[in-house]
Amino acid sequence: MIRVEGLCKTFRVAKRSPGMRAAVSSLIRPRFSSIEALKDISFSIAKGEIVGYIGPNGAGKSTTIKVMSGILVPDSGTCSINGRVPWKDRIAHVRDIGVVFGQRSQLWWDVPVEDSLQLLRDIYRVGKDRYRAMLGLLSDMLDLGPFLGIPVRQLSLGQRMRCEIAASLLHEPSLLFLDEPTIGLDAPSKLAVRKFIKEINREKSVTVILTTHDMQDIEALARRIIMIGKGRILYDGGIDSMRAEYGRERIVTVDFASGALPPSIPLPQGATLLESGPGRARWRLDTGRTSASSFVSAISDAAEVADIAVEFAPVEEIVARLYEGYRV
């Protein structure tokens, strides 16, 4: 469905020093620098996949999405989506994609939500019967009914984001770009949005490319991660594979039967105490130096244990270490 090969994109950026003199000088003799936003980006995505496209600020995520949306033309490389080149077949291409930007709106601020949806229906030339069927489906899945008649400006952030997602799917696209779809949302709203994305992916086979800094969204929705940094692909694979390759650490939580932390516990190498309290302690364990089973055995020999939980280190910690390792 999506094939990207060798994408490169460089931006020419004006530079000047602060101050009035520098401002005048820049008008007479402007200076420019080049920023390589994309450097030989290649990947492919199959129909129906949910892919997390992640990276630090300035890594090239938005540039990639803009190229794939047909907004930007790359300096070199190719991109084919459903057999089309986005920037060459833009009108046909945009009929088949949906885009949600967490900090931008495609709804009209002063009119009721349903008026905005009807205008989008006309823009995308969606038939009335198809529109009613899709609006009914989206209303049921996203619980839009109570606020379809309310002006967008009067909606909460969570309500507006649900309407934004509905607006992006009204014309039944096969590909959905989600850029920070849960930014600023409370826990119930985040769960509702995640649940909907899973359902629409399962029922309609919508391919989803999710760009976010919230790794909980990635863990909840995506099985595959493409990580970009300084314009290059750093990692492309599953979350479990990332954990196995880069996440040697485990978090071990121990509840002691006595209700109190033993005065001294001989710990094997690679164990670091994170926190301790009445009857409970948490350690970070480097399994490259000591296995989890050896650590659990050492704890059990030293004290009477009521319960032990061994967890992977949070994905955001693994990702942060990868960023640091690649110096991005």
pLDDT band for position 328 (cuts 50, 70, 90)? low
- Alpha helices for the chain (secondary structure H): 20-28, 61-69, 90-94, 113-123, 128-142, 157-169, 187-204, 215-221, 239-246, 292-302, 315-326
CA distance 219 to 211: 13
CA distance 140 to 153: 22
pLDDT band for position 326 (cuts 50, 70, 90)? low
Tracing tokens 């050492």 back to the chain, one arrives at 298
The residue that leads in pLDDT, 27 or 300, is 300
Question: If you average pLDDT over residues 17-29, what whole number do you get?
Answer: 75
The residue that leads in pLDDT, 290 or 40, is 40
59 and 206 housed in the same domain: yes
Question: If you average pLDDT over residues 80-85, what whole number do you get?
Answer: 93
292 and 224 housed in the same domain: no
CA distance 207 to 97: 10
Domain that holds residue 50: 2-8+42-243
CA distance 70 to 91: 9
229 and 264 housed in the same domain: no
Burial label for 100, CB within 10 Å (0-12, 13-18, 19+), is buried
Q: Residue 29: inside a domain, yes or no?
A: no
- The token pair that represents 146 in the structure block: 């109570």
Question: What value does the mean pLDDT of the chain take?
Answer: 87
Reduced DSSP (H G I as helix, E B as strand, rest coil) percent helix, strand, coil of the chain, to 5 = 40, 30, 30
Q: Residue 326: inside a domain, yes or no?
A: no
Q: Which amino acid is at 273?
A: L
Indicate if the pLDDT at residue 59 is higher than 80.
yes
Any idea which of 28-32, 79-83, 128-132, 149-153 has the lowest mean pLDDT?
Answer: 28-32
User: What is the per-residue pLDDT for 208?
Assistant: 95
Taking only the tens place, the pLDDT of each residue in 35-53 is: 899 999 999 999 999 999 9
Last residue of a domain, one of 243, 268, 292: 243
Burial label for 269, CB within 10 Å (0-12, 13-18, 19+), is exposed
Indicate if the pLDDT at residue 191 is higher than 80.
yes
Percent of the chain clearing pLDDT 70 (strictly above): 96
User: What is the per-residue pLDDT for 64?
Assistant: 93
Indicate if the pLDDT at residue 32 is higher than 80.
no
219 and 252 housed in the same domain: no
User: What is the per-residue pLDDT for 263?
Assistant: 67
User: What is the per-residue pLDDT for 102?
Assistant: 67
154 and 266 housed in the same domain: no
Q: Residue 19: inside a domain, yes or no?
A: no
69 and 178 housed in the same domain: yes
User: What is the per-residue pLDDT for 35?
Assistant: 87
46 and 140 housed in the same domain: yes
User: What is the per-residue pLDDT for 247?
Assistant: 76
Question: If you average pLDDT over residues 264-276, what whole number do you get?
Answer: 79
Q: What is the CATH number of the domain that holds 155?
A: 3.40.50.300
**In degrees, to the nearest 5, what angle opens at C-alpha 191 toward C-alphas 131 and 60?**
80
Indicate if the pLDDT at residue 119 is higher than 70.
yes
User: What is the per-residue pLDDT for 321?
Assistant: 77
The residue that leads in pLDDT, 74 or 182, is 74
Check residue 314 and report its DSSP letter. P
Any idea which of 126-130, 132-136, 279-283, 315-319 has the lowest mean pLDDT?
Answer: 315-319
- The number of distinct structural domains making up the chain is 2
264 and 208 housed in the same domain: no
Q: For 175-184, b where at least 16 C-beta lie within 10 A, e where not — what string?
A: bbbbbbbbbe
Beta strand 76-81 with 97-101 is unpaired
Indicate if the pLDDT at residue 265 is higher than 80.
no
169 and 62 housed in the same domain: yes
What's the whole-model pTM score? 0.81
Q: What is the CATH number of the domain that holds 258?
A: 3.30.70
Q: In what order do the strands lie in the sheet with 249-256?
A: 271-277, 280-286, 249-256, 305-312
